[in-house]
Amino acid sequence: MSKLVYRFATVSGQGIHWLLKRNCSITPAQLGGLYASICVVSLGIGTFFWLQGAKLVLPFAWLEVVLVGVAFLAYSRHATDGERISLQDGRLVVELENAGRLERAEFRREWVRVEPKTSDHSLIEVSGQGRCVEVGRYVRPDLRPVLAREIRMALRGA
């Protein structure tokens, strides 16, 4: 099994693992620091103008801070989304994490099918034993067929 070369997978011992994650340029912790600095600057400017007699600037600064906070919260909920696929001990395990919710599906190696859902660049459908899971969200559409072939190759070689 370890003789095969994989583009997306990592081989460790007797298992093969794929970790497909969202491409995020900033972590939730970094985003929190950025948000805190935006709050300080916006509310500081709003307070300065409020003290100068412009009473409507501060409420709009608060509105801005709240709306930016809501947008950052929506971003950070999905920053750790990803798909984990592992093939070990004759089982293919697919774990999908979306907004902190984990969905897990387990398939026997000999009964699993790996096919594109509709066309060559669509999501990859992993099915078997009455279950079906779509993977490949975090892989470029033109590389999804490569990922599907890699999973099929690993299933045959296991």
Quickly count: other Cβ atoms within 10 Å of residue 107's Cβ.
22
Structural domains in the chain, CATH included, are 9-22+84-157 (2.30.29), 28-78 (no CATH)
Q: What was the pLDDT predicted at 158?
A: 54
CA distance 79 to 26: 8
What global pTM score does this model have?
0.74
Contact of 20 with 8, CB cutoff 8 Å: yes
For 62-95, write each residue's pLDDT tens digit: 999 999 999 998 888 888 899 999 998 889 999 9
Contact of 122 with 128, CB cutoff 8 Å: no
